[in-house]
Amino acid sequence: MGALCHTGIMLILHTSDWHLGRTLHGASLGDSADAFIEWLVALVRERGVDAVLISGDVFDRAVPPVDALARMRRALRELTEITTVILTSGKPRRGRAPRAFRRFTDPLAARGDRP
């Protein structure tokens, strides 16, 4: 799901419910997730999107598989290189963001002030 919204001079793209790590009848949906991420990054670049809001259900389960974590890390890396990314968990979740995302979730690290 996603929508483009013009707010004054700012273009915001909202997306949610990625459900990374999901399977369908035992088959991985990783290739579909990769295609979506590639499409999203290209759209953000092409349209000059000022901010991407990713809200809720990024992962399909509370403890995502390693490939889903890697996929999300790649998506965040590529998106943060070209725009501002706002990521919310949606439903309350226990625990904190995995260490793999610290550089994206810690505002100082995202700016390069911390390792």
pLDDT in tens, the chain (115 residues): 566 665 568 899 999 999 999 999 999 999 999 999 999 999 999 999 999 999 888 988 888 899 999 999 999 999 999 999 998 876 555 555 555 566 655 554 444 444 4
- pTM (whole model) above 0.95: no
Judge whether 97 and 105 are in contact, CB under 8 Å: yes
Output the furthest CA–CA distance in the chain (Å, rounded). 45
Other C-beta atoms lying within 10 Å of the C-beta of residue 93: 10
Q: What angle do CA 107, 108, 109 make, to 5 degrees?
A: 95
